[in-house]
Chains A and B, each alone.
Chain A
Amino acid sequence: MSGDQSERGPLPEGPPTGVARDPGLQPERTALAWQRTGVSISGVGAAVVLVAARSGQLWLVLVTAVLATLSSACSVAAAMGGSRIARTPDGGGRSSPARAGSPSPRLVATAVATALVAVSGILVSLA
């Protein structure tokens, strides 16, 4: 266990030289995580609209369709912002911290999208 770090190989230390890649592919993994989340939100939103369509109530279909469209737009915007991470040379941008931007606005947009889908889920359950 003591030789843990040497088995892992050298980790990039200090300011990057510009094109140094993280051997753990952290930026790519993070961008993919954004994509997964975006696809999941769109999928669940579509499922809610389908359930609403089965109920046969037009207002419910319209409301859930609007909410699903909004949440998909939020998640697509967030996922596109997330893919910007992968294009920064060192992922988070140690040399320029603000390069990839804060994930906070994207996370908030994604959570709002999830909440919108949850609201339409509740509406579908109540109807």
Chain B
Amino acid sequence: MPQLPDPDDGQRTPSPPAPPPPGRAAPKDRRLPRGLYSQGSEPDPRFSLANERTALAWVRTALAFVAGGVGLTSLARIAALGQFVDYLAIAMCLLGGWVAVSAILGWRRKELALRTGRPLPAPVALPWLAAGITIIGLLLAGVVMGYIV
């Protein structure tokens, strides 16, 4: 199967395991979680860094949800939008919290795949996130329609 070039990080190249420094023993790997770093071999650092940035982008997505929820509840106070919008805001905050957790779990799964040379796992959270946004958008559209009609 031909590998697609990554537009961000260049071709995925296998990196040789780092040779131990001559003369003394290799420093002990203190990185956490041990269960992750004890498996496989050291990947190309660029891919680990890209994985880290992806996880951070998920965290910022989570923050956007929380910010949206807080903004919504604030708007509900100003415009007296009613209880339903407040529940929607709570749902958005909860969704934001879940996205933040899935950022870490996804980072771990991908790092493990990089270390063991397996194909990267599918972004499981992505369809659920899109579904959540769709539902919230539809519900908000319903609220807006209620004010127009």
A73 within 8 A of B: no
- How many angstroms from the CA of A14 to the CA of B18 in the assembled complex? 8
- Flag whether B104 is at the interface (Cβ < 8 A): yes
- Given A107-B55, A121-B73, verify A94-B42 contact (CB < 8 Å): yes
Interface centre among B11, B49, B57, B69 (most CB of A within 10 A): B49
User: A residues within 8 A CB of B93?
Assistant: 118-119, 121-122, 125
State whether B66 touches A121 (Cβ < 8 A): yes
Q: List B58-72 residues whose CB lies under 8 Å from chain A.
A: 59-60, 62-63, 66-67, 69-71
Once the chains bind, are A44 and B70 in contact (CB under 8 Å)?
yes
* Contact (Cβ within 8 A) B63 A117: yes
Q: Which chain A residue shows the least CB distance to B16?
A: A14
Residues of A within 8 A of B16 (CB): 14-15
Decide yes or no whether A29 CB sits under 8 A from chain B. yes
Interface size on B, residues (CB 8 A): 57
Residues of A with Cβ closer than 8 Å to B? 4-5, 8, 11, 13-15, 22, 24, 26-27, 29-30, 33-34, 36-37, 40-41, 43-44, 47-48, 51, 54-55, 85, 90-98, 101-105, 107-108, 110-111, 114-115, 117-119, 121-122, 124-126
Which residues of B line the A interface, CB within 8 A?
Answer: 5, 9-11, 13, 15-16, 18-19, 21, 27-33, 36-37, 42, 44-46, 48-50, 52-53, 55-57, 59-60, 62-63, 66-67, 69-71, 73-74, 77, 86-87, 89-90, 93-94, 96-97, 100-101, 103-104, 107-108
